[in-house]
Structure 1
Amino acid sequence: MRIPHNEPLGSASSGKRGGGSDAPERRCVLTGRHGGRDDLLRLAIAPDGAVLPDVNARAPGRGAWLSVGRADLENALGNGKLKAALARAFKDGKLAIPEDLADRIEAALVRALVDRLGLEMRAGKLLLGSDRIANDARMGKVAALYHAADASADGARKLDQAWRVGLDEEGSGLVGDRLPLDRDALSVALGRDNVVHLALADAASAARVQAPLGRLRAYLGAGFAAGNDGADQAGDAPLGQAQLD
């Protein structure tokens, strides 16, 4: 994917600790790392004590924040560190953490990404179909290019080449972005047959998609890109007001 210089990838808080001078800072309940709303993942605490993913950080009431990826979260679930951290933070032993919380978070992050892609499609900014993408790419009308996780190397290579030609970047090695979703998942999500390649027509659309895509990748990988100002060992971080929201 290509984003022009100085083009923001997320909200105004992305890449800034606390999201700017007036934005409150969030702190991971497991690691003590600090970050803004775009840098951490929120868990919502329902009135009955149920702990649920709130990937868009919109649910009312109590919440806590995480900076870890899926593997570390699963470890914290298995050894009880997440439950202990939340119990200390909320002084409440009646919290109910679902055993499949890691799966629920991943599903919610995937849904946020495909919902964003659907919105871009309805706005006429999402391009589908290899022939259409190749044509627009050669004319320099593609800001971001994506391939399904199981797209063939040959099909991706042809579109990558067309994209480089349109951007006058032949020889640069620029290639489209491999999504963490296969063609079946993309086809079902977008209501189209055999979605293998897709592209976005302008940088603003690319930036809007990059935010949920980056959050999904962070969760599936090593964790969110929050500043490390606290302990690195899960469960060892001192708890403070900045962790709760």
Structure 2
Amino acid sequence: MPVLETMLGQSQLQRRCIVSGETLPTDRLIRFVVGPKQQLVPDIRGKLGGRGIWVGAVRSTIDAAINQNLFNRAARTDVNIPENLSKNIECQLLERVQGHLSLARKAGQAIAGYEKVLENVSKGGFALVLTASDASFNAQKKLSSLATGLVQVDCLSGSEMGVVFGRERTAHAAVAIGGLASQIKIDGRRLAEFRGKPSLNEVRHDAEV
């Protein structure tokens, strides 16, 4: 079974960050492996074989590992670090969130638009609400009272959400209870933390989905 799929199903699985020395759940870390020609490869999907090197899923932590040569130390050899590694990781994390949100939309498990979200979330059956990270303060607060008890995710900009729903921008969306919502929750948290921007209500990241 792929490493990431295993770690998503076993929240108790933990590994040590080579930068902070902290032991953290694997869904709060980025896994790296050393590939051909000693190339350092971020294993975002957890499908690559080989010994894993784990680093906290925060841009500044990844940059610290590079600047302090900690990847070489952990790998016990000199590794080739790609240019724009942190940007590449951010893009892959973004693609995962958008990909799972797109699958949820196609499966009829995701809806977008304030009125539609307002109407349907109140009926129950939804696990999380997404609000654009660059939405106005009022827009961000509109669904807060309604979303009590739901996971709230704001790791995507309006244009990043809009891509999924075939619009220029989307400020509000919601995802029904199920496996895709669980994936979006985990990947959304990793993306938000990587960008250094916690969710509107981080406690709700631990809500049941």
Distance 1:176 1:26 in 2: 25
Structure 2: which 5+ runs fail to align?
1-6, 199-209
Secondary structure of 1:177's partner?
strand
Distance 2:52 2:155 in 1: 27
Distance 2:136 2:45 in 1: 33
Distance 1:87 1:69 in 2: 19
Alignment match of 2:109 (pick from 122, 125, 137): 125
Counterparts in 2 of 1:53-202, with a 5 A limit? Answer: 53-67=42-56, 69-77=58-66, 79=67, 81=68, 83=69, 85-93=70-78, 95-161=79-145, 163=146, 177-202=152-177
CA apart distance, 1:38? 2.2
AA aligned to 2:8 is: S
Distance 2:183 2:101 in 1: 9
Partner of 2:201: none
Secondary structure of 1:154's partner?
helix
1:38 aligns with 2:27: yes
AA aligned to 2:93 is: L
Contact 1:183 1:196 in 2 (8 A): yes
Distance 2:162 2:197 in 1: 28
Contact 1:149 1:180 in 2 (8 A): yes
Partner of 2:190: 215
TM-score, normalised relative to structure 1:
0.67
Contact 1:106 1:219 in 2 (8 A): yes
Instruction: Output the aligned Cα RMSD.
Output: 2.8
CA apart distance, 1:136? 0.8
CA apart distance, 1:181? 2.0
Return closer, same or farther for 1:105/1:54 CA change in 2, 3 Å cut-off. Answer: same
Report which stretch shifted further, 174-183 or 42-51. 174-183
Partner of 1:242: none
Contact 1:142 1:200 in 2 (8 A): yes
Greater relative contact order (CA < 8 Å, ≥ 6 in sequence): 1
Partner of 2:8: 11
Contact 1:145 1:198 in 2 (8 A): yes
CA apart distance, 1:176? 7.5
AA aligned to 2:28 is: D
Contact 1:117 1:126 in 2 (8 A): yes
Larger radius of gyration: 1
Distance 2:153 2:197 in 1: 18
AA aligned to 1:89 is: A
Count of residues paired in the alignment: 192
Distance 1:160 1:33 in 2: 33
Q: What does the per-residue CA deviation read over 1:223-242, in whole Å, with 9 as the maximum and x for residues that have no partner?
A: 9xxxxxxxxxxxxxxxxxxx
Higher strand share: 2
TM-score, normalised relative to structure 2:
0.77
Identity %: 27
Structure 1: which 5+ runs fail to align?
1-9, 20-24, 224-245
